[in-house]
Amino acid sequence: MRHIISILIENEAGALSRVAGLFSARGYNIESLTVAPTEDVSLSRMTLVTSGSEQIVEQITKQLNKLIDVIKLLDITEGAHIEREMMLIKVKADRGHRDEVSRLVDIFRGRIIDVTDVSFIVEMTGSPSKLDAFINAVHEDLVVEVVRTGPCGIARGSKGLTL
Amino acid sequence: MELSGAEIVVQYLRDEGVEYVFGYPGGAVLHIYDALFNQDDVKHILVRHEQAAAHAADGYARATGRPGVALVTSGPGATNAVTGIATAYMDSIPLVVLTGQVASPFIGSDAFQEVDTVGITRPCVKHNFLIKRREDIAETFKKAFYIATSGRPGPVVVDIPKDITDPNVRIPYAYPSKIKMRSYNPVAKGHLGQIKKAVEMMLSAKRPVVYTGGGVIIGDAADELTRLIHATGFPITSTLMGLGGFPASDRQFLGMLGMHGTYEANMAMHDTDVLVAIGARFDDRVTGHVAHFCPNAKIIHVDIDPSSISKNVKVHVPIVGPVQKVLKDMVKVVKETRQQPEEGALKAWWEQIEQWRAMDCLRYDRQSSKIKPQFAVETLYKVTGGDAYVCSDVGQHQMFAAQFYGFDKPRRWINSGGLGTMGFGLPSAMGVKMAFPEQEVALVTGEASIQMCIQELATCKQHDLPIKIILLNNGYMGMVRQWQEFFYDRRYSNSYVDALPDFVKLSESFGHVGMRVERPEDLEGAMREAFAIKDRLVFLDVIVDPEENVYPMIEAGKGHHEMYLSPASELV
Ligand SMILES: Cc1cc2nc3c(=O)[nH]c(=O)nc-3n(C[C@H](O)[C@H](O)[C@H](O)COP(=O)(O)OP(=O)(O)OC[C@H]3O[C@@H](n4cnc5c(N)ncnc54)[C@H](O)[C@@H]3O)c2cc1C
Ligand SMILES: Cc1ncc(C[n+]2csc(CCOP(=O)(O)OP(=O)(O)O)c2C)c(N)n1
Ligand SMILES: [Mg+2]
């Protein structure tokens, strides 16, 4: 099963490599990992997407909690949650394809943020599956470059993952 | 008080009450060595290899329960220490290892003797630090000692760039009396509801077994454990790391379990209906194939580290907490509850266990004209009254020591279980002897293992450490040979230790006393003579039967009921 783990961690040099090292040393799988400082600059928030059996995911959360720099974590897939990923995608858009591409962008509620005679850059946010669907909808030959952030996520409701 | 960085390092160690630092100098730590030179409170023990510095600090920690401290230089000093750090990590031993680092501006430039110590040690430490400013030294040290010794203990590395210890820059220093870490709060007690649930399950058991481990030693809970076992009347078995947590001479003790555990302990594990695991981590040497592990049991597990629980084997009643406090609470609940143990069932269970015990699985050939290694350990027990600190290396001799030296007290049995580090023995014995100069410290070793840190005989000479070395010399890497005998059709590939030195002359050349024994009838006399020499290290080269095996043995991947037994035992 796929799990999204939100982690509050000390914003210190090396904190990221402790998390990444844990996954490689113990042979856990990381699908994506995003990190950025929070409103409190001494804290970073990570969103880590992993998958495995219940037993493995239980070990993953225990091992993460055991890292001295980790302050709190939450497997947000245990409850209702929202996840979003951003993508920048450069597509070929010469005269023959411009209309088709911009129609697709509209349907997916993306934005064209850069234009040349032969290409667009499209910005799009949404669930990872929506971004996948957009990529699939654009003809394969038209895709020049794809950059995705990996998902970040938050639990629904009034409670926050804070100190 | 205004001090330089180097002086802060040393002053901090004094304020922390550190008696000994085991170390080896080099460029990156010279400022610190200079600061050490000017005081007498912290005594520096000069080892001959940085691996030994870590092992000696580790031996000190295992015997005393206080953190061991090592000090090494950057680059090769740090990499040499890694084996010792990993050894302590695997067995949850509190160490603080101070490593020199190249000066801050040079970090990352492949400078002379630079390695990424924080990166190299990250997977084998509880935590590590690279100090960036001299103002942070004291607080970082405080954190390092706190993290190393609290919760599930472990080694902490503090990497200190040379410029930060510059003797010419002084800053105010005060010992930080308190430390707060928002990201690290070890649990202080177990959940009472869970403890009650566990006791209820225990008291309704028909075939209970208590399986204890290193956590009982690390967590100083031998007394509480003994009380619980006596209050319940349950049989108890221990891992290699937990020996001494309950007196081996007590009838309720079934001996060690696992790969080289006793017949009665392993059979009881196989048949138990309620297993109470206390400070043990279900290691594969203990469980064998997990599918065959305690097939009929409900499992209760007390451990301070949540990640030890349900890691290898699914547990029914987890209790996260320090074993001393949890056992105290358990004993209280057992005494207060109206529920009585299942007396009839328990009696029948003990009868079954006594039948297994009667098989005498540790029996060996006492008529042999060769010295049997088992006999050597029994003789050591006799000569030391069972009251020595016994250190060991890794191999058959380690198993024989574990099986035949019945430990009645905690912290007397010092060995590397998790990493199984050959070379651990001699330096760890130095650490123990530093801590307890008035006590007998024996090292039981093999001729292959001892050669891995043999240079430490010089340290023993310099620092007057009259350890008694009992070398069970079988001329083989016996443990390797045994596996080759059983599983590789006796193809003894590279397990013969050829070109052995004359250990008697070798130890004499280091300034110690060397002795050799070759006949069983001479052994006790030789050992008595060795232990009568109080002020010198004696190296006793005991020539033992070259092809003795450790029994019982469970082949890796098999169940507890599938043991190889000694040809000398009743069962075959
Ligand atoms: C050649 C060789 C053969 C071996 N054969 C055997 C064998 O036959 N049988 C055997 O048992 N071992 C054997 N071992 C050792 C084995 O490899 C493991 O090291 C050992 O089994 C682990 O012991 P343990 O489960 O007690 O765990 P330890 O490594 O001692 O771990 C301690 C556990 O207690 C917990 N803990 C620590 N402090 C506390 C506290 N204050 N409160 C609560 N919990 C705490 C920790 O979190 C951890 O889970 C062998 C080793 C070698 C080298
Ligand atoms: C550093 C290291 N290298 C290799 C091993 C693998 N190993 C385990 S036991 C052993 C042989 C030990 O021989 P010896 O010290 O003579 O002890 P004996 O088994 O003969 O009693 C070896 C090579 C190890 N445990 N540690
Ligand atoms: Mg040998």
Contacting residues for B346 by C-beta, under 8 A, at least 6 apart: B206, B208, B233, B234
CA distance, residue B263 to nearest chain A CA (Å): 32
HSE (side-chain half, CA atoms, 13 Å) at A50:
28
Residues of B in contact with A63 (CB under 8 A): 307
Each residue's pLDDT tens digit, B248-261: 999 999 999 999 99
In this complex, do B122 and A21 lie within 8 Å of one another by their Cβ atoms? Answer: yes
**Chain A, nearest residue to B307 by Cα:** A62
Q: Where are the alpha helices (DSSP H) in B125-172?
A: 137-149
In this complex, do A9 and B183 lie within 8 Å of one another by their Cβ atoms? Answer: yes
Percentage, residues of chain A above pLDDT 90: 93
Residues of B in contact with A163 (CB under 8 A): 182
**What does pLDDT average to in each consecutive run of 10 residues of chain B (572 residues)?**
96 98 98 96 98 98 98 98 98 98 97 98 98 98 98 98 98 94 95 98 97 98 98 97 98 98 97 98 94 94 96 96 98 94 94 96 95 98 98 98 98 98 98 98 98 98 98 98 96 94 98 98 98 98 97 90 82 49
In Å, how far are A39, B300, B319 from B22, measured between CA atoms? 44, 40, 37
Active site residue B264: no
Each residue's pLDDT tens digit, A9-22: 999 989 999 999 99
Structure tokens at A82: 């929202």
Fill in the DSSP letter of residue A47: E
What pLDDT was estimated at residue B572?
47
Q: Is B245 in the pocket of ligand 1 (CB under 6 A)?
A: no
Q: Which ligand is nearest to the CA of B286?
A: 1
The helix (run of H) or strand (run of E) holding residue B426 is helix B425-435
Active site residue B354: no
CB-neighbour burial class of residue B549 (10 A; exposed 0-12, middle 13-18, buried 19+): buried
Residue with CA closest to ligand 2 atom 1: B422
User: Which one of B152, B183, B308 would you mutate to disrupt binding with A, by most A Cβ within 10 Å of its Cβ?
Assistant: B183
Q: Which three-class secondary structure state does DSSP give residue B327?
A: helix
Q: Ligand 3 center to residue A61 CA distance, Å?
A: 43
Residue with CA closest to ligand 1 atom 36: B215
Active site residue B547: no
Q: Which ligand is nearest to the CA of B395?
A: 2
Each residue's pLDDT tens digit, B511-526: 999 999 999 999 999 9
The pick from B415, B428, B477 for probing ligand 2's pocket by mutation, whose C-beta has the most ligand atoms within 8 angstroms, reads B477
What pLDDT was estimated at residue A71?
96
Active site residue B409: no
Which is the catalytic residue, given B1, B2, B112, B547?
B112
Q: Ligand 2 center to residue B425 CA distance, Å?
A: 12
Asked whether B288 and B264 are in contact (CB, 8 A), the reply is no
Average pLDDT over residues A52-79: 96
Q: Is the reported ipTM for this assembly greater than 0.90?
A: yes
Interface residue B311 vs chain A (CB under 8 A)? yes
Q: Which ligand is nearest to the CA of B283?
A: 1
Interface residue B307 vs chain A (CB under 8 A)? yes
Asked whether B476 and B496 are in contact (CB, 8 A), the reply is yes
Which is the catalytic residue, given B50, B114, B447, B548?
B50
What pLDDT was estimated at residue B562?
87
Asked whether A163 and A8 are in contact (CB, 8 A), the reply is yes
**Chain A, nearest residue to B182 by Cα:** A71
Distance CA B92, CA B477 (A): 27
Residues of A in contact with B305 (CB under 8 A): 66
**Chain A, nearest residue to B311 by Cα:** A59
Q: Is B395 in the pocket of ligand 2 (CB under 6 A)?
A: yes
Q: Where are the alpha helices (DSSP H) in B385-421?
A: 396-404
Each residue's pLDDT tens digit, A83-101: 999 999 999 999 888 999 9
**Chain A, nearest residue to B306 by Cα:** A62
Distance CA B60, CA A20 (A): 33
**SS3 of chain B: helix, strand, coil, percent, to 5:** 40, 20, 40
Q: Please report the atom of ligand 2 found closest to the CA of residue B421.
A: 26
Q: Which ligand is nearest to the CA of B479?
A: 2
What pLDDT was estimated at residue B570?
56
Nearest to B262 by CA among B569, B555, B551: B551
Which is the catalytic residue, given B90, B202, B422, B479?
B479
- By Cβ distance, the residue of A25, A58, A68 closest to B147 is A68
- By Cβ distance, the residue of B122, B182, B306 closest to A71 is B182
Residue with CA closest to ligand 2 atom 4: B422
Interface residue B103 vs chain A (CB under 8 A)? no
What pLDDT was estimated at residue B315?
96
Distance CA B39, CA A102 (A): 77
Q: Is B221 in the pocket of ligand 1 (CB under 6 A)?
A: no
Q: Ligand 2 center to residue B389 CA distance, Å?
A: 21
**Chain A, nearest residue to B305 by Cα:** A66
